[in-house]
Structure 1
Amino acid sequence: MAWPPELIDDATAEILIRLPPDEPAHLVRAVLVCVKQIHDFYPLSVCTSWRRILTDPAFLHRYRAFHGTPPLLGFFDVATGPYRVVPSFTPTVQQASPVPHRTFDCADWWTLDCRHGRVLFGLSLYMERLVVWDPITGDHQELPDPRIPVGNYTGAVLCSVRGCDHLSCHGGPFHVVLAGGYNCEDNTVRAHLYSSEAGTWIASTHLNLEPHVIRRPSACIGGDIYFQLSDSMILRYHAEKNGLSVIHPPAAHTSEGGIVLVPMEDGSLGLVGVRGSRLCLWSTSLNNPEGIAGWVRCGDVELMTGIPLMPYSDVYIVGSAEGLGIVFVATEVGRFAIELKSGRERKVDEPGIYYAIFPFVSFYTPGTMLAH
């Protein structure tokens, strides 16, 4: 029996483009399997043809555009031990993780944020040094000293290209927002804006408020950044106006295990908290430059259906994956990723003592160079 002719490149690309991106090794494995199966008949042409398609920047752009939302590859956190604070990476993919498990082998580095393919780290509680790292390309950039007094800060990193779809931000310009306060006596919260294009801190603003902050994932909506000051107060940084304002969580919500902020599909701010064995989801009824008009309860997720919780078990919400509708909870039996729409639960790590989870969301194909 004669073997069928080779697939033309266009047909091959149409097949490969439909492989899901949530396991980065799928594309490479598909090529290797096909090469192995028909190597005796097309030993050179298949290998070079399929590899050429897989590494073609145009195909990688099409692949990302076809799937739209980058997948979750894992998460950064801050593991604590005696006199040490060490960021580490936990992959949620089975193979071909782009990041080594131990990110920094030194003490006192804090994960501050993770967005648009970049990670923001700060040295020590007082942000004496700040580094932005791209795990896919390996590029890293140390930011200049913001020249601010010692204080308690959190931060956010985001792509600064206007109109970008954020499917491949690698190598492009970015902004960093540092928010927090100096000390409890100062009663002032400040925000500082860094531009990688300018190579300097380009703006700052302040608000009279107690400067306590919680280092959990921020939420980016329409260019504005939302930080948690506490479980009862949210700080909004207005990027275009370079101003700060405060939002209070819904009065009817009393969270027993913390809250996280999430962008909603309609562009409003959302909030997820824990009450007993349930996740409670709220959204703002109106989001405008002046603030919000109120909160609307928009659903619950029951955790007992898939997580083997004992009665009176503690559940803490520790992170959210922006754009994926996923939040993370820490329990005595492990850490779990919860899909808010479906309620589907997936264990992603064993139990541990962690402050927060910062999801790393990006397209990644092993063995290829991403086009900037």
Structure 2
Amino acid sequence: MMGNTRELPAPQRGDSWNTYECATVLCAVDGCDHGACQSGPFFVVSISLDEDKVATTIMYSSDTGTWSTPASLDLGFIESDISISWMHGVLSGGALHFILMHDDARLGVLKYDLGTSCLSEIEPAFEIQSARFDSHALIAPEDGQLGIARLSGFNLSVYWREVCHDQVATWTKSEVIDLKKHLLASNPMISHTELVGSVERTTIIFATTNIGTYMIDLKSLRSKKLTSELRLFNHPWALFPYFSFYNPDKLRTRSI
């Protein structure tokens, strides 16, 4: 957006860059509010899955100009084939999270801890794992929670992950939201919906329909149509949410 480009060196792993399935760019400044950090130090986290069902994550630092030691997780004990969702990862609790898609329509969550460089898998609630053919999106609001939004037809529910003091994690299901009352009210021609992402540090999700893409705030339950170009089954991975910002230090004020 700023017109700047920066070419990164290829990871020294004997693999080509295009073996990685997805990548995420992160601000590298602790405590940054991300209001004007476009020129600051950054991390790039890349993740891949090979034919042996081994997930590998590696992180680039703009400060050092080098890639970290790869972190790997063997998922070979899982019988089904696995792929990483085309949706971008979300940052929650100092870790990046990605959705794992199994060929039998089950879901998993891959977690990469930025502090320990440890890669692990989170097991979602059973109801999510067995939700065949439903669409899902990760949610990471500002309070550090991790949630999974599940859309079945027009019925939307959110499962929140809570970690107890004994480090045992549980999933709590929210009240089911009927999107017919919110989307169809604005356009009765909507017949299909699919989740295509969320905005970090908020409870905003995006749903692509047969007539366009909508932004939905899960707190206010307000929806807004964004575009008619990005439709269901028409390259939903092109969606990339961002916040616009300004630098208050450069503002000039005058009294009237």
Q: TM-score, normalised by structure 1?
A: 0.57
Counterpart among 209, 234, 244 of residue 109 in structure 2: 234
Q: State the distance in 1 between where 2:164 and 2:241 align.
A: 25
Q: 1:361 aligns with which of 239, 243, 251?
A: 243
1:197 alignment partner in structure 2: 63
1:313 maps to 2:178:
no
CA distance in 2, matches of 1:258, 1:225: 20
> Highest relative contact order (Cα 8 Å, sep 6+), 1 or 2?
1
Query: Following TM superposition, by how much is the alpha carbon of 1:301 offset from its aligned partner in structure 2, in angstroms?
Result: 2.6
Residues 1:162 and 2:26 aligned together = no
Partner SS for 1:360:
coil
Secondary structure, aligned partner of 1:304: helix
CA shift, 1:199, in A, is 0.8
Q: Are the aligned partners of 2:91 and 2:97 in contact in 1 as well (CA < 8 Å)?
A: yes
RMSD: 2.6
Residue 349 (structure 1) shift: 1.0
Deviation at 1:341, TM superposition (A): 0.5
Q: 1:344 to 1:274 in 2, by over 3 A?
A: same
The answer to whether the 8 Å contact 2:56/2:72 transfers is: yes
- In 2, Cα distance between the equivalents of 1:324 and 1:270? 11
**Which secondary structure does the structure 2 equivalent of 1:249 belong to?**
coil
Give % identity: 30
Structure 1 residue 276 displacement after superposition: 1.9
Shift of 1:156: 1.2
* Partner SS for 2:202: coil
What is the deviation of 1:220? 0.4
Deviation at 1:248, TM superposition (A): 2.1
> What residue in structure 2 maps to residue 216 of structure 1?
87
CA offsets, 1:55-80, max 9 Å, x none?
xxxxxxxxxxxxxxxxxxxxxxxxxx
Secondary structure in 1 matching 2:69: strand
> Radius of gyration: which is bigger?
1
Counterpart selection for 1:251 from 105, 109, 126: 126
Q: Deviations over 1:101-132 (max 9, x none)?
A: xxxxxxxxxxxxxxxxxxxxxxxxxxxxxxxx
Distance in 2 (alpha carbons) for counterparts of 1:335 and 1:248? 30
Distance 1:312 1:171, change over 3 A: closer
CA distance in 2, matches of 1:311, 1:139: 41
Q: CA deviation at 1:217?
A: 2.0
1:160: how far off?
0.7
Contact 1:216-1:358 within 8 A present in 2 as well: no
1:108-127 matches, within 5 Å, as none
Name the CA distance, whole Å, in 2 between partners of 1:326 and 1:292.
Answer: 28
What amino acid is aligned across from residue 343 of structure 1 in structure 2? Answer: L
Match of 1:336 among 189, 214, 218: 214
The separation in 1 between residues aligned to 2:164 and 2:20, in whole angstroms, is 28
Q: Is 1:284 the equivalent of 2:161? A: yes
- Asked if the contact 1:160/1:175 (under 8 Å) is kept, the reply is yes
Alpha-carbon shift at residue 255 of structure 1 (Å): 5.9
- The residue correspondences of 1:260-299 to structure 2 (distance < 5 A) are 260-286=137-163, 293-299=169-175
For the residue of structure 1 that corresponds to 2:84, the secondary structure is: coil
More helix by share: 1
1:216-254 deviations in Å (ceiling 9; x for gaps): 021101321111122601100011111110012211232
Distance 1:332 1:243, change over 3 A: same
Structure 1 residues not aligned, in runs of 5+: 1-134
* Contact 2:183–2:190 (8 Å) recurs in 1: no
Could you tell me which runs of 5 or more consecutive residues in structure 2 were left unpaired when the two chains were aligned: 77-81, 252-256
Alignment-derived partner of residue 79 in structure 2: none
CA distance in 1, matches of 2:9, 2:189: 50
Tell whether the 8 Å contact from 1:259 to 1:274 is kept in structure 2 after alignment.
yes
8 Å CA contact 1:255, 1:274 repeated in 2: no
Count of matched residue positions in the alignment of Structure 1 and Structure 2: 230
